[in-house]
């Protein structure tokens, strides 16, 4: 796995998670800003998982 890319994505996930918490606290869970932020966080988590999966797939031995 590209450690630089992985670290960057993990950092962004933490930033976006903190923002989501602030927005939820300020506006409530049903606010469109909170829902959009939640979708952004999901996108980043999915991206991170894709990077990890790609790394694991390349790491598996071939027969």
52 or 49, which is more confident: 49
Q: How confident is the model at residue 62 (pLDDT cuts 50, 70, 90)?
A: low
> What CATH number is attached to the domain comprising 47?
4.10.280
Average pLDDT over residues 38-55: 92
23 vs 6: CA distance, rounded Å:
26
In the chain, the number of structural domains is 1
Yes or no: say if 31 and 22 are a contact pair by the CB < 8 Å rule.
Answer: no
52 vs 4: CA distance, rounded Å:
12
Sign of CA dihedral 25, 31, 33, 38: positive
| Containing structural domain, residue 7 | 3-59
Helix (H) and strand (E) counts for the chain? 2, 0
């Amino acid at each position: 796995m590209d450690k630089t890319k992985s670290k960057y994505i993990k950092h962004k996930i933490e930033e976006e998670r903190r923002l989501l918490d602030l927005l939820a606290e300020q506006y409530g869970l049903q606010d469109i800003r909170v829902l959009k932020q939640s979708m952004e966080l999901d996108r980043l988590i999915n991206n991170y998982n894709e990077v990890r999966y790609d790394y694991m797939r390349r790491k598996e031995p071939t027969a």
